A = this chain, B = another copy of it.
Amino acid sequence: MAIGIGLDVGGTKILGCAMDADGSLVAEVRVASPHTPELLYQALVDCVDALLAKLGPLAPEVRGVGVGVPGLVDEHGVLHETANLHGMTELDLPAALRGPIGELLGGPGASFHLIVDNDATCAAAAEHAWGAGRGGADSVLVTLGTGIGGGIVSDGRIVRGARNFGGEVGHMVIDPSGPDCGCGRKGCWERFSSGTGLAYLARRAARAGTAPRLIDLAGGDVDAIVGEHVVKAASEGDPGVAAVLEEFGSYLSLGLANIVEILDPGCIILGGGLVAASHVLLEPGLRIYATTYRRGSGPRAVPVVLATLGERAGAFGAAALSLGTVG
């Protein structure tokens, strides 16, 4: 059976997974994420080498290698803008990797499919093929982490856009009076509904005097308030923090509803770090979405579900794309 290797490059680690065409994990490696392009390329090649060693007699079945990276990746696999890779940018990963990985997979003329894509696009492909979107043809993955990423599947295929930059739902402006965003605009969805956005809303409430418990938890420093303090205070039943979470939820549901209007997916899948505390952080938004927002005739709001593949979704999806399981 054909095997695909997926490599997910994060700011701190690279996760490598060898997957069969049914979406079963066959082998896995993890290494630290280097800070220079040359070391990054070498680390990726080393990951492939290590996975091939783990595959042993199955190694000749590898038909594809996919790499997921955080940032804007063009249709040629070149990484342009990224905030999370130690300042590295304009990385032509296919050019750097094709030769060395080809050597590992059988030398010059080795036949394999090499793809490089945005990590959220990879995760969307994985959740579509093997995760929460399995069985449906239209889904949108929204990753709620430090920022908000996204990937769109329409009729079983990734909606890439003309330059492969599609799916950046986190940079849709939902409130033009909102805070500045690193992208140059104001009030992007990720300014409100990511981990960073939660901290922003929490600090704003603390400054306004409506959530004093957060200041206690942050040692008296409003600027030190982070999402963990919100989770802690919420677990204590703090009413001020409950109001912060309602506000957080209203922004979250607003962006989800916008996605429904524009794309009408069969489901929206929520992934990313915030999902780990979904019962606290995401419950208000999901409740507001489900109770106040219905599109179309009758009670047919588009379901919002949690991702099922966890932190491996990016690597799984890079493998799926390299195998052509998702196009």
Contacts and interface: CB of A to CB of B under 8 A. Distances in A.
Given A173-B254, A175-B175, A254-B173, A163 B261 contact: no
Interface string A250-271: 1000100111011111110000
A161 B263 contact: yes
Given A136-B162, A160-B154, A174-B174, A262 B264 contact: no
Contacts of A59: none
Nearest to A250: B176
A305 to B, nearest CB: 13
A117 to B, nearest CB: 13
Chain A interface size, under 10 / 10 to 19 / 20 to 34 / 35 or more: 35 or more
A143 to B, nearest CB: 14
Specify how many copies of this chain sit in the oligomer. 2
A263 B300 contact: no
Interface in A156-208: 157, 159-169, 171-177, 184-185
Nearest to A297: B80
B261 A172 contact: yes
Interface string A268-304: 0000000000000000000000001101110010100
B168 A161 contact: no
A162 B262 contact: no
B175 A261 contact: no
A22 interface: no
Contacts of A163: 264, 296, 300
Interface of A: 72, 74, 80-81, 90, 136-138, 150, 152, 154-155, 157, 159-169, 171-177, 184-185, 250, 254, 257-259, 261-267, 292-293, 295-297, 300, 302
